[in-house]
Structure 1
């Protein structure tokens, strides 16, 4: 997709009506002892309950954060919003070692739906009582010139230190501080708790065949309309104070029903639900 995608979409699944950005991570699958696979369902972030009525009806489990500094404050540094056409990725599907993993790409074994703090670079080794949260922190230093690069990463510089802590200062080569974008995806692995392999092996695998978790990665395509994101970065609001249904804020919002009414048409037609003999795409010829 080329150009300003914020002007191409007709609806958005985001709570903020001016956010038409594209957010992507791979799908997670459970691998049964008999060799078959089933897609792991996702569920809404419990924190959304503070923002939207009937939050449990939200279809999806990815929560997107744009922080200026950290979870405790906005800081006093000017944050430059991404320009139209901007895109970036973080991580790589070819990473297969712990040492090669990128800071900020982590997992949390959820003891409850509100568990936060303890993160690992690889998949949890035991069943998690409330599922697995996959976390993707993107770099926050931009070269100030290119909206993309051949590898979708060279125009950015990663000074992330992990968690939702403030990233380190930007280098001269990438001097422009942009929002610290982060994804949290809640995977409901609890539906497979009675199918855990008898030998105790870790049974989850990304759709691109990674069973260790080090290859986790995310894609970001900026699509906020007009100056909406810059307005938010210039404001002192935090979290739901920036706007939520029934509350005045710097950003416009929509209801859960309106969010759910927006959907993307399936252009592939490949079966991805139910028990599969192989991961989707494995039998497709290029």
Structure 2
């Protein structure tokens, strides 16, 4: 899948300078993965998904126009029909049973108002998160664009070095943002575990996807996105930084005995007890040029040029559970019978 964008590689597109931060409620939690396991029902492991309600097990990029096929989105900006998803966190008890860890709402609930149902916080930015100037220029994603960050098979630090910015925060309170761990935090976290997924920000300028959903994008050649590192010559087009923040409410599972002798009791739905397999998927689906307009808007968090919807509308947007398996009881095995290794 290709997109002719030679002009973008030479900076001929309109400059973009903005930061968007917005909550998305849960769209569905089930074993579907149209990027890695297209057409498979069920897929290999459980995911939590947000975004447009055209999400299903088969979403070919050549013909799937998310804005026209979706009738609602679980995200705040009603022009964003993209889909974002990650694996699901489970607690493993000493008797070998598993319990799905709930997600704490991101956004909503301020002043006693409506509360988002689970989901995640999504960021699109042109510079470091807290740089209010947002001076850099980026090129917004194009229709059909998709990518994957991380690898569900990784189990050690050396493997995970490829992904510079997939991290965890052991939250002492709602405002905790440091330090960041590469694997699961080795201690109880009083306010939960935040999983951070930062996607690569350099594009080859041609391919909307690649066989492994990764080779068409890259991290900066040196440094990081936040430090203003340059894109490599092979991937010269600078994209917005997408950051997903998911807060897993581990407060019911903070028995210090579970963390004795360097252990910790959490596993990803892929069967990973280390945290090094952290991964996330993205299917672009912003309507028309709405994302480019927002990136061109020179705004910080607020986006008056975009259409917003209330929390109640976000919570109402769902897709059917087509897998129909129990994911909420105490389970004797992970969904999909994934071994913990």
Q: Does 1:66 align with 2:124?
A: yes
Question: Does the CA-based 8 Å contact 2:186-2:259 persist in structure 1?
Answer: no
* In 2: Cα distance, 1:195 partner to 1:270 partner: 31
- Which position in structure 2 is the counterpart of 1:216? 278
Structure 2 segments unaligned to the other structure (5+ residues) = 1-58
Instruction: Provide, for residues 220-258 of structure 1, a one-character-per-residue CA deviation record: whole Å limited to 9, x for no partner.
Output: 00000000100011111111x21xxxxxx1111000111
- Which position in structure 2 is the counterpart of 1:24? 85
Q: TM (normalized to structure 1)?
A: 0.90
- Which position in structure 2 is the counterpart of 1:79? 138
Instruction: Provide, for residues 121-152 of structure 1, a one-character-per-residue CA deviation record: whole Å limited to 9, x for no partner.
Output: 01011110000000000001011111100000
Structure 1 segments unaligned to the other structure (5+ residues) = 243-248
Instruction: Provide, for residues 146-176 of structure 1, a one-character-per-residue CA deviation record: whole Å limited to 9, x for no partner.
Output: 11000000000112856x7245111111111
Task: Tell me the CA shift for residue 44 of structure 1.
Answer: 1.8
Match for residue 155 of structure 2 among 85, 96, 110: 96
Task: Tell me the CA shift for residue 199 of structure 1.
Answer: 4.0
- Secondary structure of the residue aligned to 2:104 is coil
Aligned pair count reads: 272
Task: Tell me the CA shift for residue 76 of structure 1.
Answer: 3.4
* In 2: Cα distance, 1:74 partner to 1:21 partner: 26
- Which position in structure 2 is the counterpart of 1:251? 306
* In 1: Cα distance, 2:260 partner to 2:189 partner: 17
Task: Tell me the CA shift for residue 9 of structure 1.
Answer: 0.8
* In 2: Cα distance, 1:21 partner to 1:136 partner: 16
Q: Does 1:189 align with 2:247?
A: no
Instruction: Provide, for residues 44-91 of structure 1, a one-character-per-residue CA deviation record: whole Å limited to 9, x for no partner.
Output: 23xx359x6656610014111001111213543321111111000001
- Which position in structure 2 is the counterpart of 1:246? none
* In 1: Cα distance, 2:152 partner to 2:228 partner: 24
Match for residue 202 of structure 1 among 258, 261, 264: 264
Task: Tell me the CA shift for residue 10 of structure 1.
Answer: 0.9
Residues 1-286 of structure 1 mapped to structure 2, 5 A cutoff: 1-2=59-60, 3-45=64-106, 48=107, 54=112, 57-71=115-129, 72-101=131-160, 102-159=163-220, 165-194=226-255, 196-197=257-258, 199-200=260-261, 201-239=263-301, 241-242=302-303, 249-282=304-337
Q: CA 1:256–1:32 in structure 2 vs 1: closer, same or farther (change >3 Å)? A: same
